[in-house]
Amino acid sequence: MRVGARQLTLSNLEKVLYPRNGFTKGEVLDYYTRIAPVLLPHIRDRAMTFVRFPDGVAGGSFFEKDVSRHAPDWVRLAHLAVGGRGKDAEIVAYPVIDDLPELVWAANLAALELHVHQWTVGPGDERSTPDRLVFDLDPGPGATVVDCCRVAERLYDVLVADGLTPVAKTSGSKGMQLYAGVVTTDGGEPSRYAKALAERLAAETPDLVVARMTKNLRPGKVFIDWSQNNPFKTTVAPYSLRGRDEPTVSAPVTWDEVRACRHVTHLRFTADDVLARVERLGDLFAELERTRVAIPAIG
């Protein structure tokens, strides 16, 4: 199959990857091809980690960072040092998905989930400082995305008061993420700012919000995971499929939708839903790229 300027060999297109509703690998490829115009701007120049489901979502998965063994020579690779906590540095060849052929190549690997860093990679494989601030809202046992929406509303007010422009998306699973476009020369600044806000909300409403990952603190509450701003962590990309029972998507949403959410189904979107939403609403995540500002000082 010819995709752009590349000739790709696609395989097992009839294989069912989502058994609950019979969603096939061919439909995964179709989704990523059709969503590419809005997806690619948000993953371009970002080192990526795949979550691959070669036997479908019922058959297990694995994370893949280094694709040097099997990537075609036309797939962009970023050779980055990883390590820490006493480990020797290791060079990993991350895929960087910049165009449609690379995206289709990834989808053909059954890389259903695409996870990216909050920073970009330069032409010489140099890491930039972060250009995204992220809050990952993770509901504990007994809490749902509805509770995440109430926390998101509070975060929205604080972020706007601080001069930031927050953008929301579902996780495609149980929770959601809030982002803001930022400018910084200090790679640790987003984590410090996000941690301070998470701790502030946890102190103000300890019955709803927790700022620590400790499991016994989390039942019935929403964990604001500020640590996703760590330069070595990744977050699921906007418009990425998720490896759940059905082909749900990490979908950008409007703030009116967040405020109106009263049931878990209100912010649950499948691949077909998201394609229809983009046709109707455009790219709700685009504002992130247009509204980068300096991270405010922590009060």
Domain ranges (residues) in the chain: 2-127, 129-233+241-270+277-294
Structure tokens at 295: 């991270």
Res. 4: pLDDT tops 90: no
Average pLDDT in the chain: 95
Output the CA torsion sign for 33, 38, 40, 42.
negative
Structure confidence at residue 187 (pLDDT): 93
Intrachain domains 2-127 and 129-233+241-270+277-294 with the same fold:
no
Amino acid at the residue 69: R
Is 223 in contact with 210 (CB distance < 8 Å)? Answer: yes
Structure confidence at residue 215 (pLDDT): 78
CA distances from 49 to 181, 183, 299 (A): 21, 24, 35
- pLDDT tens per residue across span 38-60: 999 999 999 999 999 999 999 99
Q: Does domain 129-233+241-270+277-294 have CATH number 3.30.70.3300?
A: yes
Structure tokens at 148: 């995440």
User: Which CATH code fits 2-127?
Assistant: 3.90.920.10
* Cβ atoms within 10 Å of 71's Cβ, excluding its own: 17
Please list, in sequence order, all residues whose beta carbon lies within 8 angstroms of the beta carbon of residue 276, skipping any fewer than 6 positions away: none
Average pLDDT of the segment spanning 65-73? 96
- pLDDT tens per residue across span 111-143: 999 999 999 999 999 999 999 999 999 999 999
- pLDDT tens per residue across span 167-207: 999 999 999 999 999 999 999 999 999 999 999 999 999 99
The rounded distance, in Å, linking the Cα atoms of 162 and 133 is: 13
Res. 229: pLDDT tops 70: yes
Find the range with the poorest average confidence among 28-42, 208-222, 251-265. Answer: 208-222
The rounded distance, in Å, linking the Cα atoms of 35 and 50 is: 17
Average pLDDT of the segment spanning 263-290? 97
* Cβ atoms within 10 Å of 183's Cβ, excluding its own: 11
Structure tokens at 283: 């790219």
Structure confidence at residue 86 (pLDDT): 59
